[in-house]
Chain A
Amino acid sequence: MTPSGPGLGPVLLSLVQVSRTHGDGDLAVHALQGVDLDVRVGELVAVMGPSGSGKSTLLNVAGGLDTPTEGTVTLAGAELSALDLKGRARLRRRSVGYVFQDFNLVPALTAAENVSLPRELDGVRQREARVEALAALSEVGVADLADRFPDEMSGGQQQRVAIARALAGPRRLVLADEPTGALDSVTGEEVMRVLRSRVDAGAGGLLVTHEARFAAWADRTVFLRDGVVVDSTGDRGGPGSLLVGAGSDGLGSSHWPSGPTDQDG
């Protein structure tokens, strides 16, 4: 089931028949089994499932932090298994950013320094990295916090910085592990809006969450159970979906494009 939704760019991340087994024989634990998954530019994909269903393993395998026992992972056009450890680490630094539940900013560095650090580690000169960082911070609406330290920022602000860091410079894929887990519902929504708009602006995202309300910001949600993809909501609806063809009933009062669904009763 290869998505070919409207307005989506090239494939950033592709998992083909990926399995990850820990141990062997009778004690083998199948963390992932035969998972196929693509993330394209402009696409945010959510992964839901109970704890132990393989969500974290999926994220680790997708980002090259863990290696599948079977199947292939292609990241930014490069097949990970074809690279040595060093090459994989470099590809990871250049192409992928992570966002975690607990923000994971370096406490002793300012927001701008946190964002530019991985770029500097990648050999980019300090001044250039700072320019990139300021641009990235501005994209997520916290340009004015560039010189603040993490403990001088709210949780929502820190998570925006983390999103900026994940997509600074040439990075196009963000892997987010419960990014709203430590935030209240309104702040969590703001962070999802930022993530959504960054993806819409030309990135791709894989989002692990156990909250349906946040998964709903994705273009589609994949359900994982016992390491197997059991279902998916499918691609974002085409022209026939709820959003398009905004009609009005003549009153000009309806936000519902195709007329609200009137339940009986």
Chain B
Amino acid sequence: MSVRHGLLALLAEGPMHGYQLRQEFERRTGGTWPLNIGQVYTTVHRLVRDGLAEPVPQGEIGSAEEPGAPDGEGSGERFRLTEAGRAEATAWWARPVERGAPARDELAIKLALAVTAPGVDVPAVVQAQRTETLRALQDYTRLKARAAAEDLAWLLVLDNLVFVAEAEVRWLDHVEARVARAAATNAARGPRPAPGQGSTTQVSPGPPAVGVGPVGRDLR
């Protein structure tokens, strides 16, 4: 879907060969979502099928708009947008990206199961994930630190990865606090404390959000 509209947007800038589309798409998004050439042609042919794009007739090639075409020229035909394609490309900018049914998220599924499955050390699961996500965040940030200030497209792609990862960390913080609070509530309700708790009771200076117990220290 993003590929389809991505190619549509690129074709709105002018006719292109399949390999050019691939190259432009990857260049403009920092190679973050690589395409194989088969994917490009499949997508373009769907655009043609749906009346949004069409091959440029042979006679019209070489209208001096594209002097830098690499050799291997004759290998592929060029495509351009139809009127309908142009309209769809314009409409795409104006339309927000749909946020429909949530995609399957392994982490959300994992934690949903963890809080209900017996014998799972939820804080340990949360911490292991937080560390891993922060490592990814560090990697993205190092790429950002090296990125040229004028490479705005690439910086925006990296920012997206950074903010998504940060949101995940914040969600993990929230999960941890919520689980701790639920555990505290259950403990207050239940008549007997779990065995082995309470020998070295820690008084947390903060809100009761943390300190579900010293479980899960042994992460590494």
Chain A partners chain B: yes
A51/B206 in contact, CB under 8 A: yes
B127/A213 in contact, CB under 8 A: no
Q: Any chain B CB within 8 A of the CB of A52?
A: yes
Residues of B within 8 A of A219 (CB): 138
B143/A50 in contact, CB under 8 A: no
Q: Any chain A CB within 8 A of the CB of B166?
A: yes
Q: When the two chains form the complex, which single residue of A52, A193, A243 contacts B204, counting CB atoms closer than 8 Å?
A: A52
**Complex Cα gap A234–B169 (Å):** 17
Please, how many residues of chain A have a CB less than 8 angstroms from a CB on the other chain? Answer: 47
In the complex, what residue of chain A is closest to B19 when comparing beta carbons? A251
Task: Tell me, rounded to whole Å, the shortest Cβ–Cβ distance linking B1 to chain A.
Answer: 12
8 A Cβ contacts from B154-181 to A: 154, 162-163, 165-166, 169-170, 173, 176-177
Residues of A within 8 A of B131 (CB): 221, 223, 231-233
**Complex Cα gap A232–B219 (Å):** 10
Residues of B within 8 A of A220 (CB): 138
Q: Any chain A CB within 8 A of the CB of B135?
A: yes
Q: Any chain B CB within 8 A of the CB of A216?
A: yes
Q: Any chain B CB within 8 A of the CB of A30?
A: yes
Residues of A within 8 A of B134 (CB): 48, 212, 215-216, 221, 233
A228/B210 in contact, CB under 8 A: no
Q: Of the listed stretches B24-32, B44-52, B83-91, B107-115, name the one at the interface; the rest are far from the partner chain.
A: B24-32
Q: When the two chains form the complex, which single residue of A27, A218, A221, A242 contacts B139, counting CB atoms closer than 8 Å?
A: A242
Residues of B within 8 A of A29 (CB): 203, 205
Q: Any chain B CB within 8 A of the CB of A130?
A: no
A212/B211 in contact, CB under 8 A: no
Task: Tell me, rounded to whole Å, the shortest Cβ–Cβ distance linking B162 to chain A.
Answer: 6
Task: Tell me, rounded to whole Å, the shortest Cβ–Cβ distance linking A184 to chain B.
Answer: 14
Q: Any chain A CB within 8 A of the CB of B17?
A: no
Residues of B within 8 A of A242 (CB): 139, 142-143
**Complex Cα gap A243–B130 (Å):** 21
Q: Any chain B CB within 8 A of the CB of A2?
A: no
A52/B135 in contact, CB under 8 A: no
Q: Any chain A CB within 8 A of the CB of B99?
A: no
In the complex, what residue of chain A is closest to B201 when comparing beta carbons? A26
**Complex Cα gap A212–B130 (Å):** 10
Q: Any chain B CB within 8 A of the CB of A196?
A: yes
Known A-B contacts A212-B166, A260-B32; the reply to A255 vs B206 at CB < 8 A is no
Known A-B contacts A213-B163, A233-B134, A262-B34; the reply to A31 vs B205 at CB < 8 A is yes
**Complex Cα gap A218–B137 (Å):** 10
In the complex, what residue of chain A is closest to B133 when comparing beta carbons? A212
Q: When the two chains form the complex, which single residue of B32, B139, B170, B214 contacts A212, counting CB atoms closer than 8 Å?
A: B170
Q: When the two chains form the complex, which single residue of B140, B163, B204, B220 contacts A226, counting CB atoms closer than 8 Å?
A: B204
Residues of B within 8 A of A236 (CB): 138
Q: Any chain A CB within 8 A of the CB of B147?
A: yes
A51/B207 in contact, CB under 8 A: yes
8 A Cβ contacts from A237-265 to B: 237, 241-243, 249, 251, 253-256, 259-260, 262, 265
B143/A226 in contact, CB under 8 A: no
Q: Any chain B CB within 8 A of the CB of A225?
A: yes
Q: Any chain B CB within 8 A of the CB of A53?
A: yes
8 A Cβ contacts from A26-78 to B: 27-31, 48, 50-53
Q: Any chain A CB within 8 A of the CB of B22?
A: yes
Q: When the two chains form the complex, which single residue of B26, B165, B204, B206 contacts A254, counting CB atoms closer than 8 Å?
A: B26
In the complex, what residue of chain B is closest to A211 when comparing beta carbons? B166
Task: Tell me, rounded to whole Å, the shortest Cβ–Cβ distance linking A35 to chain B.
Answer: 13
* Most-contacted residue by chain A among B134, B147, B169 (CB, 10 A): B134
**Complex Cα gap A50–B207 (Å):** 9
8 A Cβ contacts from B53-106 to A: 103
Q: Any chain A CB within 8 A of the CB of B146?
A: yes
Q: What residues of chain A have their CB less than 8 Å away from a CB belonging to chain B? A: 22, 27-31, 48, 50-53, 193, 196, 211-213, 215-221, 223, 225-226, 228, 230-234, 236-237, 241-243, 249, 251, 253-256, 259-260, 262, 265
Known: A221-B134, A225-B211, A230-B127. 6 other contacts (CB 8 A): A29-B203, A50-B209, A52-B210, A193-B145, A228-B214, A242-B139
The 9 closest A-B pairs by CB, nearest first: A52-B206, A254-B31, A216-B137, A212-B169, A253-B26, A216-B141, A255-B30, A253-B27, A242-B139
Interface pairs (15), CB distance under 8 Å: A50-B173, A50-B209, A53-B206, A53-B210, A216-B140, A219-B138, A223-B130, A231-B127, A231-B128, A231-B130, A232-B131, A242-B139, A249-B31, A249-B34, A251-B26
